[in-house]
Structure 1
Amino acid sequence: MNNASSMSADAISLCAYSKINIHLKVLAKRKDGFHNLESIFQRISIADYLSLEKSSDLHGCTVESPLLPLPAENTLTKAWEVFKGATGINGGIKVRLIKNLPVGSGLGAGSSDAAALLKVVNELFAMPLSDSELTTLALQVGSDVPFFLKDPAGVVTGRGEVFEPIQARTDCFGILIWPDVQSSTKEAYSLLDKQREVLSGEYEAWGYEKLVAQYCAPFKTWRFVNDFQPVLEQRYPVIAQVRKELHEQGAEFAQMSGSGSAVFGLFSSKNLMASAFQCLAKRWSWCQPFLLLA
């Protein structure tokens, strides 16, 4: 869960933790144009940092992001507009965002930032919106946003709005590498849809029970998939190279997250992870250790 680190009557600072997709099946396309999904999401210890402050001089949302310039319209401003439209509040906010996570990495950072904003403004403006109502607003911002209002790990289905929690595992140590490739969700879906026009793919969902049984099994026996991974590795071979190097350094499981392009590796011990990190950090400029959150 997004944890507030400091709070006052008119300002809150907090972490917006990212996630990895341990499993990701892209299922049939829906009538609304979205695809149904089946995924296991788990929050990890790498985060963006936000400070939000009420402003009587503003009616909108101004965002200061000193480490990474953002477009005028972004997930934070969109979340604010959705919240304001639902509540009719008369006021505004200032947001300072310390952006630690790269854009186009498949880690849900923008979605986590938006979910953090929704939770905070609900507190700052003393609104009585329930968790269910916040989830409805979150889905209007983006398909991944509702997850970041939920428990740290779970099976996500639908277009992202259906969440079934699972007991989060924390018995491993991770390394996350972003190979400096910005992979957009739109591009990933386009590549996958084109492939499926000529190749028959496996569209069936695994189901909650099979996913949980596999999740509880030893990491080295995991057979989880990411349907985006093959087409993205073909388009960007460096993603496959990262995954290969993680395995070579002792990762028991390594996979691309989301629609790419970040790749994570899970190690059975802290010493194994530390040794691998020492080597991989020399090869990849964006390489960070992480923990699974519970």
Structure 2
Amino acid sequence: MEIKAHGKINIALDVIGKREDGYHILKMIMQSIDIYDVINIEVIEKGIEIRCNKSYVPVDSRNIAYRAADRFIKRYNVRKGVAIDINKNIPVSAGLAGGSTNAAAVLNLMNKLFEVNAPLKELKEIALSLGADVPYCLTGGTALCEGIGEKITKLPSFKNNILVLVKPSFGVSTREVYTSLKVDKIYKHPNIDAIIDSMKKGDLKSVCWNMKNVLENVTLKKHRIIGEIKTSMIEMDAVGSLMSGSGPTVFGFFEDMLKAQRCYDYMKSKYPETYITRTI
């Protein structure tokens, strides 16, 4: 059984507080993009086996897809094991939910494969135990995500907007970025209501004018190249440019494919992990 596991960008990412247990309280606009991994699962007698086309991806319990399968098996007392094939196209440690979307795909596939028919609410509980982005990745699309990732409100579709994505040659640890973030030092927050209103109207310029990611306060200071990529995208006619998630991937929205292609060609010559895609 096979499924496409799509990546995402954050059109807005705000941190509005921190709980006593250390979890950050988030408010994010999440958007699926047409870059995806392909996840295939087969039933085996016992255990969890993972295979991946990228040698640097761990295939043991360090892999979030492994942990998703393990928690599903334990939660629903599944008597068999699974072999999971991951054909990875989404860049790793990039702020595009590559791991989270794999974990969500495993939960969705196992629910069908073993005919558990668990409701989405239960799958979201398992997903949240794996990471803040995993509950959203169960359904994808355009959504407002709040709390620690558990409160998801579906928004009107923002599909078919052209994107160029650039991932520099390094990864970023989400945990380290959040640990370094000083919530009381965030002085400018994204106007999420204005962004949602603009998205409903299909007003890309207004969306780009208002979009913001407060995690840039941390990641841009550590990696100046991210700011340089953002500036280059604007100079090459991007309507707006932003870092996705905790980084380091930068995306730019474009009004037409010709401008996007010109930016893609230039960026690709400097950064091998450059992509041209759309929102879905």
TM over 0.5: yes
**1:242 equivalenced with 2:229 (yes/no):** yes
Tell me the matched-pair count.
275
* Contact kept? 1:28, 1:203, Cα under 8 Å: no
Distance 2:247 2:78 in 1: 37
Aligned to 1:29: 18
Alignment of 1:151-230 (within 5 A): 151-193=140-182, 196=183, 200-202=185-187, 206=191, 209-216=193-200, 218-221=203-206, 222-230=209-217
* Contact kept? 2:34, 2:278, Cα under 8 Å: yes
* Contact kept? 1:82, 1:140, Cα under 8 Å: no
Distance 1:33 1:205 in 2: 22
Aligned to 2:67: 78
Alignment of 1:47-196 (within 5 A): 47-56=36-45, 58=46, 60-71=47-58, 72-73=60-61, 74-193=63-182, 196=183
* Contact kept? 1:239, 1:263, Cα under 8 Å: yes
- 1:239 partner letter: I
Distance 1:191 1:219 in 2: 32
1:271, CA displacement in angstroms?
1.6
- Name which of structure 1's ranges 69-78 and 281-290 shifts more when overlaid on structure 2: 69-78
Map Cα deviations across residues 215-246 of structure 1 (whole Å, 9 max, x no partner): 34633332111011132111001111111111
- 1:233 partner letter: L
* Contact kept? 1:27, 1:205, Cα under 8 Å: no
Map Cα deviations across residues 186-236 of structure 1 (whole Å, 9 max, x no partner): 11112222xx56xx32387856x4341143463333211101113211100
* Contact kept? 2:242, 2:252, Cα under 8 Å: yes
Identity across matched positions, percent: 27
Map Cα deviations across residues 241-274 of structure 1 (whole Å, 9 max, x no partner): 1111111111101100000010000100112211
1:112, CA displacement in angstroms?
0.3
* Contact kept? 1:66, 1:98, Cα under 8 Å: yes
Aligned to 1:8: none
Distance 1:203 1:160 in 2: 21
Equivalent residue in structure 2 for 1:256, among 216, 229, 243: 243
- 2:196 partner letter: V
Please provide the CA RMSD for this pair: 1.7
Distance 1:120 1:184 in 2: 28
* Contact kept? 1:173, 1:273, Cα under 8 Å: yes
Distance 1:85 1:106 in 2: 29
Map Cα deviations across residues 144-180 of structure 1 (whole Å, 9 max, x no partner): 1000112401110001110111112124211000011
Unaligned runs of 5+ in 1: 1-11
* Contact kept? 1:82, 1:141, Cα under 8 Å: no
SS at match of 2:28: strand
SS at match of 1:47: strand
* Contact kept? 1:68, 1:99, Cα under 8 Å: no
1:111, CA displacement in angstroms?
0.4
Distance 2:156 2:108 in 1: 23
